[in-house]
Structure 1
Amino acid sequence: MSRVEESIDVDAPVRVVYDQWATFEDFPKFMDGVEEVTQLDERHAHWRTRIAGLSREFETEVVDRVPDERVAWRTTGRSVKHTGTVEFEPLGATRTRVRMTMDFQPTGLAEKAADRLGVLGIQVRGDLRRFKRFIEAPATGTGPGSAPEAG
């Protein structure tokens, strides 16, 4: 099993960062290779991905969720095997550290080759950078700041 650990600091309060990360349907807006995420119920989601030329469909289950602190998941089924945790650490009132850890079991020749080349680490680093740009984007109609806050 391979492990990837990456983190990034985001200029947004932990509540905003956590709430956006917990909105799985928005992942295609900042995760390269994620084509669609459909929330099935409170804990389960169906994913369609295309990463490094490999198309996959799989389901995940949230196994731990602590608002403003962490979300942990695992895949279900046999086609894709990975687990992960994203932790959110407030760095003051308007800044948050996002730390992602993923364990991945490559299957098949192509996935094993991609794993040896460090493709997952490159993917995660890029996704975190895109998430940072997405969450920090001014209200342009595309980021989380684009809709008025209820309250």
Structure 2
Amino acid sequence: MTKLRAEVDVDAPVSQVYNQWTQFESFPEFLGAVKSVDQIDDVRTLWNVSIAGREHSFYADIVEQVPDRQIAWQSTDGKFHTGRVDFTPNAEGTHVALEMEWEPEGLLEAAGAAIGIDDAQARTDLRRFKEFIENRGSATGEWRGEIHGGVEDSRPGEQSGSVGA
């Protein structure tokens, strides 16, 4: 099992940073290994990634999502992958902390994880995310719903938001 943690401070308000992170289909613009993400519904996504020259596809479900605070996910088939990103307001704008865990497949992925290539890529990806959101000045969309235990929390009288708004 491989684990990593990467962090970055973004010069933008927490709601703007969080809103951008909810736009999974924009991930290929700043996440190096991600080729595409399809938002199936509010909870389910389909990821296509390229790792060590090998293409992988897997479904991941959002298991926890609280606006301006946290998004956590877990793969449901294919490549084992789990993670979370926390958003914390600070003097610079927003502190973003990413944690991921996955099972490397094959010698190249295991070697890359062992020598820290994955950690370096995560730090680079977060810097690219920071540049993306700071240069844009606004998020490409937002989704303000809540998910707990993999189920959307749709309380009466509250609006959950919309994917790709």
- Indicate the SS of the match to 2:88: strand
Identity of aligned residues (%): 41
| Structure-2 separation of matches of 1:144 and 1:85 | 20
- SS of 2:107's partner is helix
Q: Compute the displacement of 1:138 (Å).
A: 4.3
Within a 5 Å distance, the mapping from 1:43-58 to structure 2 comes to 43-58=43-58
Q: Is the alpha carbon distance of 1:51 and 1:108 closer, same or farther for their aligned partners in structure 2, counting shifts above 3 Å?
A: closer
Residues paired across the two proteins, number? 140
Is 2:139 the partner of 1:144? yes
**TM-score normalised according to structure 2 size:** 0.80
Unmatched runs of 5 consecutive residues or more in structure 2: 141-165
Matching of residue 60 in structure 1 with residue 55 in structure 2: no
Contact 2:11 2:134 in 1 (8 A): yes
Deviations 1:23-58 (A, max 9, x none): 101101111121111000110100111133121111
Q: How far apart are the structure 2 equivalents of 1:117 and 1:56?
A: 21
Q: Distance in 1 between matches of 2:110 and 2:29?
A: 27
Q: Quick one: which amino acid aligns to residue 21 of structure 1?
A: W
Correspondence 1:83 to 2:78: no
> Which residue does 1:148 correspond to in 2?
none
Tell me, what secondary structure is at the counterpart of 2:50? strand
8 Å Cα contact 1:71/1:87 also seen in 2: yes
Instruction: Identify the residue that residue 21 of structure 2 maps to in structure 1.
Output: 21
- Cα distance in 2 for partners of 1:108, 1:14 equals 38
Task: Identify the range of structure 1 (126-135 vs 43-52) with the bigger mean alpha-carbon deviation.
Answer: 43-52
Secondary structure, counterpart of 2:133 in structure 1? helix
Superposition map of 1:1-150 within 5 A: 1-77=1-77, 79-92=78-91, 95-138=93-136, 144=139
CA–CA distance in structure 2, aligned partners of residues 70 and 144 of structure 1: 17
Counterparts of 1:112 and 1:63, CA distance in 2: 27
TM-score, normalised with respect to structure 1: 0.87
The change in CA–CA distance for 1:20 and 1:66 in structure 2 (over 3 A counts) is same
